[in-house]
Amino acid sequence: MLKETDVLKVAELARLQLSSDEIKKYTKQLEKVLELFEKINSLDLEGIEETSQVSGLASVCGVDDVVNDARSRPTGHDALFSNVPQKDSDSILVPKIIKR
């Protein structure tokens, strides 16, 4: 049987301040949760495999293959800066967005 002092200890660990009504309410609720765990513990689950998914659906996502292909990446300064709207030698210029 769960005691109100047990709920107070859990509340203290969680840094919660509970009123006396909340303590009574949560004592009853936690006691019911613990009863469910006792029921689960009493079941004979020998030989039953864990289930992580019961719908039977398969993943529809494809595998992402990383391809290191030099043709897909630009090389050299001019190629790297070819689509930059504003530049200054080796820097990309961006508009100021912070105002004082």
Q: Is position 24 within any domain?
A: yes
Please report whether residue 8 resides in a domain.
Answer: yes
- The answer to whether residue 82 sits within a structural domain is no
Q: How many separate domains does the chain show?
A: 1
Asked if the structure places residue 13 within a domain, the reply is: yes
pLDDT in tens, the chain (100 residues): 889 999 999 999 999 999 999 999 999 999 999 999 999 999 998 898 888 877 878 878 888 887 777 666 767 778 778 888 888 878 889 888 888 7
Are residues 85 and 77 in contact, defined by beta-carbon separation less than 8 angstroms? no
Task: Identify whether 35 is part of a domain.
Answer: yes
Judge whether 49 lies within some domain: no
Range of the domain at 8: 4-42
- To the question of pTM greater than 0.75 for the whole model, the response is no
- DSSP letters spanning 22-46: HHHHHHHHHHHHHHHHHHHHHS--T
The domain that contains 12 carries what CATH number?
1.10.20
Phi, psi of 92 (to 5 degrees): -95, 130
Per-residue pLDDT, 19: 94
Predicted local distance difference test score (pLDDT) of residue 6: 92
**Does any domain span residue 66?**
no
For residue 58, list its beta bridge partners. none
